[in-house]
């Protein structure tokens, strides 16, 4: 079998057109969705992510503001900046780019963002609401994965999903979203004994490990759906995922490539969440 490639770039483009149309409608009502991105320090990768987020915001007709603080900024300075943004009615979404410098307590910072503007979906209130199946800002990468499957017409209810990785930003929440949609979910991680035993039973595998070419054809059941979240560089310095694409795509039913798979969906769902937050203001 040769897998169908799930074209994340194309699906993201389609979603962005829909978001831009909704943004225009809101603007006609006098509301411009606004996203504030806070960058502390000068991490090269973080700067690239932040620039992409700002550009996408503008492309979709939203307002975006970048707040830059130096590497040595204190936690108090950052918290006071977030407080200002929480109170600013032109800002509907606040994103603090992670990782933060070591001297800043990441959890404290995430908890200081108003849950009503937490478009990353990392605040414990939004995580709790997601877990209990209430309306919430869903974390962007997991949410993007669910949208990819929906757009491909791949059903989830009753499927066995094996998530490899249990981080707070990808592994744990994506498993929860699958559970919310009635899948049977197995989590694997670095302490899992016999990973292959679990993954080879999966109807859907989500690989969120951060190790290049970690999931091989032997890990995968014939015809399975393989979602590759990883963003790694191989020995040659080339961008690659957690899945050995060439061999796995010979066996899987569907597969996401890296790049142009899950990645473009993450930023798209951030835009979606910012739009949703702006729309929410109409309700209050
Ligand atoms: P983390 O490093 O936070 O988590 C990695 C997870 O993989 C951990 O739960 C770890 O287990 C598990 N793991 C590590 N080694 C093994 C192993 N040998 N066997 C089984 N499990 C293992 O990473 P993230 O979740 O933040 O990111 C994962 C990947 O996804 C990275 O490549 C990252 O760059 C990428 N990413 C991509 C995004 C996108 O938009 N496409 C967005 C976010 C991340 P344990 O908990 O036991 O340590």
Domains and CATH numbers, the chain: 30-115 (3.40.50.10860), 139-263 (3.40.50.720)
Q: Which of 8, 48, 207, 208 to mutate to test the pocket of ligand 1 (most atoms within 8 A of CB)?
A: 208
**Gap between the Cα atoms of 99 and 118, Å rounded:** 16
Q: Is residue 9 flagged as an active site residue?
A: no
Which of 12, 202, 206, 229 should be mutated for ligand 1, with most atoms under 8 A from CB? 229
* Nearest-angstrom CA–CA distance, 21 and 279: 13
Q: Is the backbone peptide bond immediately before 223 cis, with ω within 30 degrees of 0?
A: no
Q: Is 190 in the pocket of ligand 1 (CB under 6 A)?
A: yes
* Cβ(166) – ligand 1 distance below 6 Å: yes
pLDDT at site 155: 98
The whole-angstrom distance between residue 80's C-alpha and the CA centroid of its chain comes to 26
Catalytic residue among 16, 53, 172, 251: 53
SS3 13: helix
How far is the C-alpha of 55 from the C-alpha of 159, rounded, in Å? 37
C-beta atoms surrounding 90 within 10 Å: 12
Distance separating alpha carbons of residues 100 and 97, to the nearest angstrom: 7
Has this prediction a pTM greater than 0.90? Answer: yes
d(CA 251, CA 277): 41
CA of 186 to the centre of ligand 1 (A): 15
Calculate how far, in angstroms, residue 139's C-alpha sits from the geometric centre of ligand 1. 15
Residue with tokens 């932040």: 50
- pLDDT for the residue 235: 85
State yes or no: is 53 an active-site residue.
Answer: yes
Q: Please give the ipTM for the structure prediction.
A: 0.99
Return the ligand 1 atom nearest residue 166 CA: 9
The per-residue pLDDT for 284 is 64
Q: Tens digit of pLDDT per residue, the chain (284 long)?
A: 799 999 999 999 999 999 999 999 999 999 999 999 999 999 998 999 999 999 999 999 999 999 999 999 999 999 999 999 999 999 999 999 999 999 999 999 999 999 999 999 999 999 999 999 999 999 999 999 999 999 999 999 999 999 999 999 999 999 999 999 999 999 999 999 999 999 999 999 999 999 999 999 999 999 999 999 999 998 888 999 999 999 999 999 999 999 999 999 999 999 999 999 999 999 86
Q: Where are the beta strands (DSSP E) in 32-127?
A: 34-40, 63-69, 93-96
What's 34's DSSP letter? E
Q: Give yes or no for residue 192 CB within 6 A of ligand 1.
A: yes
CA atoms 112, 96, 14, 229: torsion sign: negative
Q: Please tell me whether residue 122 adopts helix, strand or coil conformation.
A: coil
d(CA 251, CA 116): 43
User: Distance (Å, rounded) from C-alpha 279 to C-alpha 284?
Assistant: 10
């Amino acid at each position: 079998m040769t897998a169908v490639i799930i074209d994340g770039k194309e699906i993201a483009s389609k979603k962005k057109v829909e978001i831009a149309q909704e943004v225009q409608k809101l603007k006609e009502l006098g509301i411009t969705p606004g996203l504030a991105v806070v960058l502390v320090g000068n991490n090269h990768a973080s700067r690239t992510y932040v620039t992409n987020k700002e550009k996408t915001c503008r492309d979709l007709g939203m307002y975006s503001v970048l707040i830059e603080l130096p590497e040595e900024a204190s936690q108090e300075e950052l918290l006071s900046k977030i407080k200002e943004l929480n109170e600013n009615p032109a800002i509907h979404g606040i994103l603090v780019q992670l990782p933060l410098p070591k001297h800043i307590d990441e959890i404290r910072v995430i908890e200081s963002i108003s849950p009503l503007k937490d478009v990353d979906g990392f605040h414990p209130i939004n995580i709790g609401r997601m877990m209990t199946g209430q309306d919430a800002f869903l974390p962007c990468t997991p949410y993007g994965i669910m949208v990819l499957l929906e757009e491909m017409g791949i059903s989830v209810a009753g499927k066995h999903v094996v998530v490899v990785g249990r981080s707070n930003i990808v592994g744990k929440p994506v498993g929860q979203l699958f559970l919310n949609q009635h899948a049977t979910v197995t989590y694997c991680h670095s302490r899992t004994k016999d990973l292959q035993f679990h993954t080879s039973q999966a109807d859907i595998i989500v690989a969120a490990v951060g190790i290049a070419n970690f999931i091989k054809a032997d890990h995968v059941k014939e015809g399975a759906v393989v979602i590759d979240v990883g963003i790694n560089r191989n020995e040659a310095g080339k961008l690659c995922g957690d899945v050995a694409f060439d061999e796995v795509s010979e066996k899987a039913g569907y597969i996401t490539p890296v790049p142009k798979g899950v990645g473009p969906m993450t930023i798209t769902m951030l835009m979606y969440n910012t739009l949703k937050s702006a729309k929410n203001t109409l309700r209050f």
